[in-house]
Amino acid sequence: MELPNLPNQFQRLSAPLVNRRRFLQTAGMTAAAAPLVVGVLIPRPARADDRFSSTEGAEGTAQSKDTVAEIATAALIAEDLATTFYYNGLVGPVIQDPNLAGPGGTATMITSAGNAGNVNYLQAALSEEIAHANLLRSLLKIPKAASDPEQTFYFPAGTFDKLDPFLDLLDALENAFIGAYLNAVQEFATMAAVAKEQQSRQVWDEESYTPETLEYLALVSASIMGIESEHRVLGRVIANKNPANNRNYETTDGITAVYNGKTSAVAALTPFLTPSTGPGYSLATALDKHTTVSIHVGGVPPAA
């Protein structure tokens, strides 16, 4: 399907991405790291004081600093992280757990002692995360995955060896993804409201985002968040945690903005960009070989 036309500066300013040090500093982190491209700044529909009153405090201030491109960049990094996570779960020793492929089994050869349905959940999740990343990449005008901001992700030692640590991290990651997308919905909706007000006051800049585009981005964020919620619940199914659907409402998991601030999604995911966390795993390998372990999943982004 055709994606909505974004302002020209979205493509123009998505090219000169900043390095990882700035990414960490923007998130309120202080760790030093080797230079890697990560995010971009582009014009926002409104300034912080226009969008939030002082009574909304630090949360509103952090959200008001997030730009459209920053939100999309953070989401792309999260989806690439998830892609790398699910791929290595499907090819690592953990796949031989009886709740997955069973002793001696693989993602494509489930033993009689395994659980094919549980393996299918992970295989579908891998395909879904790749689809999400493809959409975000197209919005950011990134031509190929090899140009994505992060190419290596770091996980605690033993993550892919046994089921408990793997599922514990799955739950933690999916909760963070859910929180990030819930914040993205709120931020895009706020931007859309401000854009409508600017149009009505005839102070509209033709290079700004239209309310319709911002509303569409909120819709896309909500549709992705729903899938991440499925992943959280299906992880609990694999873990035999009952009820797996244990919430009336999903939560932000303490995340108060997508890109900026000490309690942003970026801050939550930064450890997975840091070698001190544990062994590194390649996004390129996951993407090159995902068809050997994933299964096809249908569906397209919401209509614009």
Q: Token pair for residue 64? A: 């008001």
Helix (H) or strand (E) run with residue 153 in it: strand 152-154
As beta bridge partners, residue 282 has 152
CA distance 139 to 78: 15
Tens place of pLDDT for every residue, the chain, 304 residues? 344 544 444 444 334 333 444 555 555 443 333 222 222 222 343 444 444 444 355 666 778 899 999 999 999 999 999 999 999 999 999 999 999 999 999 999 999 999 999 999 999 999 999 999 999 999 889 999 999 999 999 999 999 999 999 999 999 999 999 999 999 999 999 999 999 988 887 766 656 788 999 999 999 999 999 999 999 999 999 999 999 999 999 999 999 999 999 999 999 999 999 999 999 999 999 999 999 999 999 999 998 7
Identify the pLDDT of residue 222: 98
Q: Cβ of 204: how many Cβ atoms within 10 Å?
A: 16
Largest CA distance in the chain: 68
- pLDDT at residue 43, rounded to an integer: 34
Of 246, 221, 222, give the one whose Cα is nearest residue 235.
Answer: 246
Cα–Cα distances (Å) from 208 to 64, 171, 195, in that order, read: 16, 37, 8
Query: Do residues 132 and 197 lie in contact, with contact meaning Cβ atoms separated by under 8 Å?
Result: no
Provide the token pair at 91: 């090819």
How high is the pLDDT of residue 59? Answer: 61
Predicted local distance difference test score (pLDDT) of residue 26:
52
Tokens of 100: 């997955």
Identity at 4, one-letter amino acid code:
P
Question: C-alpha distances in angstroms, 143 versus 82, 128, 148, 294?
Answer: 20, 19, 9, 23
Res 126: pLDDT: 98
Angle between helical axes of 163-200 and 211-238 (0-180°, round to 10): 160
- List alpha helices for the chain, DSSP H: 8-14, 20-26, 48-51, 57-65, 68-91, 116-139, 163-200, 211-238, 265-269, 283-289
Please answer whether residues 65 and 91 qualify as being in contact, where contact means their C-beta atoms are separated by less than 8 angstroms.
Answer: no
